Amino acid sequence: MHQLKFKVKVLSGYRITLPKDIRERLGISVGDELTLVVRGNEISIMIDEEEPIMLIAGIASGSEEIAGDDIFLKEIEEKITRSKKEVC
């Protein structure tokens, strides 16, 4: 198995950004849930696989995609608000 290695920076709020190449290869979208596993000084990130019945429920209600978009928009609004406060 070919191993890819990416370096990311920890941002305020202890957030990291997953590189675009990883997001696209693994189909990770805003609102997806990931699991962090710590082994010694290593952190592995795994995609949470939803159970088929939960996927059907999400598709039927249409709430999953909207929830992800809402999360993204809220984060952008918070960043803009913080930037305005820092400028003043």
The CA distances from residue 33 to 47, 68, 81, in Å, are: 7, 10, 26
- What pLDDT, on a 0 to 100 scale, did the predictor assign at position 31? 85
Phi and psi, residue 3, nearest 5°: -105, 130
| 85: pLDDT strictly greater than 70 | yes
Q: pLDDT of 10-43, one tens digit each? A: 998 899 999 999 999 888 988 888 999 999 999 9
Q: pLDDT of 45-58, one tens digit each? A: 988 876 555 555 55
Average pLDDT over residues 66-74: 65
Average pLDDT over residues 64-82: 70
Domain ranges within the chain, ordered by starting residue? 12-87
pTM above 0.85, yes or no: no
